[in-house]
């Protein structure tokens, strides 16, 4: 069975024809061209789907969309500036195919869970370490979306509930996102660069704006003390949030994606060591959660969206 | 369909014959009489089940057991001092009926979700505020237990990740349990009692050992400033943990049980007000998580265990 997965972003929309194993058979993309009406954006999505479905038997369309999605309706998307738009209904009418809608981060998590780093696992928590901390939870092949239609938001779990903790974009202090996103890593690196003017952080990033999510890792690899301290502090917070999620879900796999995850084993090895003692009952557990990096890259979104349509889940 | 639910505790074992709606038809109990071998304890459980099943059509037995449960096996129970004991296998042989096993806190949560405070809801997070913070998560009528066989442990989610945060029984600092259990409330009350010798806390509890989980609430009700401050601090931590769990699960219901929950609306009203602004996307949510108290009391365990057997879930 082939389905089409659509990954709608603020800049581009991507679509792919995907088989039942999660293999991408064909892909296509177009600019989102915001701002413009939701219907105009959907007309372009429909055109991409029509292009992909020519001479093909397509069973359905899945769409990953930024924002809060409830059934087939986009309740609210800050990126797209949509409110209560019946996206699935609109596309269904255009395409005469079943349409399934999900939050983009959730849908990408579904892709990783079913066809990527957690393929074959009974449960997975996927965490994206980018500008924010997003993610999704997949239990027995099914996305956890909740009653309110909001996606699982592991980034907005407070792990440092003090009045001095960094302010999160959501308005709370000490959220996992405010301590473990790439943005948080860059903030910590900048602070260390200022307070340690002789460190390699300053050689690698002569100007504050040169600091990126790799700077501290690169400095640490050179043996730089300040760089190592930043990586250690970041890893401590990341481990704290991941251990919390393990203690809540005890998933088979935790998969990390996003820029910071590109560090691979540089990140994973100390992270696993930091998480292990924080897992409740780890002394007696016969099975352990596997912590790894995601494998589908930018295609997680379209593959996950296509899988959503294959599962026939809203 | 009738099933038998067993709630095995360190002091007593309770069993009940329960119908498909969760109604208790008959109940019976006996002392657990520890320490003694697992088989001897199970022989007594079997005797209770036989007494309840006389002249009855019983479809199966469910058991809630303290500790880490994996399938039908008790991996490790600190309370019972059991290791890798095939409890379901043993009871099945004795009773010639299907036997389903679950962690006691999880099973009680299932009872509340299916027949108590969250009856009819699509999902529920049940949190017990007692000596520790236990609980369970029920999604679409099914217990979340995870890959490792460990129960969901929301109490061991760090919400105050600082080196000065209170030490938790699990060895970490700043766990939800160490800040929102009845034990934590008593600790905070004792501290306030010492630092505010003129407060009503001292009238209500002339000796430190007189402090219990009600002292601060009683003082606050009398208008006592120190008592109010304790209740406010406790409520802040409780709200922080509950908001985290809402942002992760977005459940239809959060149900609170345990001694502190007996405060009812005294606790719930300020708690709801504190949780609301911490919920991600609350400005746009059409549906809100209902925060309430549990309704089954001490029977949640046997009812949940019986429901486990009715659902035929391990």
Residues B8-27 pLDDT 10s: 999 999 999 999 999 999 99
Given a cut of 90, whether residue A283 has pLDDT beyond it is: no
Kind of pairing between the strands at B2-8 and A142-143? unpaired
Distance CA B97, CA B59 (A): 7
Question: Among B84, B122, B147, B251, which would you mutate to test the A interface (most chain A Cβ atoms within 10 Å of its Cβ)?
Answer: B147
Distance CA B80, CA B98 (A): 23
**% of residues, chain A, pLDDT over 90:** 88
Q: Which of residues 254-273 of B touch A (CB under 8 A)?
A: none
Distance CA A249, CA A140 (A): 12
At a CB cut-off of 8 Å and minimum separation 6, what does B93 contact?
none
Cβ contact B267:B239 at 8 Å: no
Find the residue in B nearest to A83 (Cα): B284
Given a cut of 70, whether residue A314 has pLDDT beyond it is: no
Least confident of A104-118, A178-192, A234-248, A283-297: A283-297
Residue A190 at interface with chain B, using a CB cutoff of 8 Å: no
Residue B170 at interface with chain A, using a CB cutoff of 8 Å: yes
Distance CA A134, CA A126 (A): 8
Given a cut of 80, whether residue B314 has pLDDT beyond it is: no
pLDDT at position A313: 63
Residue B81 at interface with chain A, using a CB cutoff of 8 Å: no
Contacts of B79 in chain A (CB under 8 A): none
A-to-B residue pairs, Cβ atoms closer than 8 angstroms: 149
Contacts of A121 in chain B (CB under 8 A): 147
| B55-112 pLDDT tens trace | 999 999 999 999 888 889 998 888 899 999 999 999 999 999 999 999 999 999 999 9
Of the partner residues B150, B237, B285, the one whose CB lies closest to the CB of residue A285: B150
Burial of B159 (0-12, 13-18, 19+ CB in 10 A): buried
Residue A290 at interface with chain B, using a CB cutoff of 8 Å: no
Given a cut of 90, whether residue A8 has pLDDT beyond it is: yes
Distance CA A138, CA A112 (A): 9
Find the residue in B nearest to A247 (Cα): B153
Residue B160 at interface with chain A, using a CB cutoff of 8 Å: yes
Q: Mean pLDDT throughout A79-85?
A: 91
Rg, chain B, Cα only? 20
pLDDT at position B313: 63
At a CB cut-off of 8 Å and minimum separation 6, what does B312 contact?
B60, B98, B100
Name the β-bridge partners of B257. B128
The whole model's pTM is what?
A: 0.94
pLDDT at position A70: 87
């Amino acid at each position: 069975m082939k389905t089409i997965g659509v990954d709608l972003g603020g800049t581009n929309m991507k679509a792919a024809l995907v088989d039942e194993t999660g293999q991408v058979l064909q892909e296509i993309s177009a600019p989102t061209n915001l701002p413009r009406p939701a219907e105009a954006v959907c007309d372009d999505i429909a055109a991409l789907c029509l292009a992909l479905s020519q001479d093909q038997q397509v069973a359905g369309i899945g769409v990953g969309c930024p924002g809060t999605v409830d059934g087939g309706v986009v309740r609210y998307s800050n990126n797209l500036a949509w409110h209560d738009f019946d996206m699935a209904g609109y596309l269904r009418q255009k395409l005469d195919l079943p349409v399934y809608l999900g939050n983009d981060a959730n849908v990408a998590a579904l892709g990783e869970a079913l066809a990527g780093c957690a393929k074959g696992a009974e449960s997975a928590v996927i965490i994206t370490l980018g500008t924010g901390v997003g993610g999704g939870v997949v239990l027995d092949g099914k996305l956890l979306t909740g009653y309110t239609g909001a996606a699982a938001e592991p980034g907005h779990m407070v792990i440092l509930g003090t009045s001095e903790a960094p302010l999160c974009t959501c308005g709370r202090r000490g959220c996992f996102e405010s301590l473990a996103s790439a943005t948080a890593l860059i903030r910590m690196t900048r602070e260390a660069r200022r307070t340690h003017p002789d460190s390699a952080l300053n050689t690698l990033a002569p100007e504050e704006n040169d600091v990126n999510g790799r700077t501290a890792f690169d400095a640490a690899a050179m043996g730089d003390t300040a760089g190592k301290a930043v990586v250690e502090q970041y890893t401590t917070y990341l481990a704290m949030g991941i251990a919390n999620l393990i203690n809540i879900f005890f998933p088979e796999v935790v998969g990390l994606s996003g820029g910071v995850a590109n560090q691979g084993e540089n990140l994973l090895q100390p992270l696993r060591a930091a998480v292990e003692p924080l897992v409740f009952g780890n002394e007696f557990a016969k099975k352990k959660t596997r912590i790894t990096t995601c494998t589908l890259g930018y295609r997680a979104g379209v593959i996950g969206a296509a899988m959503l349509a294959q599962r026939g889940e809203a």
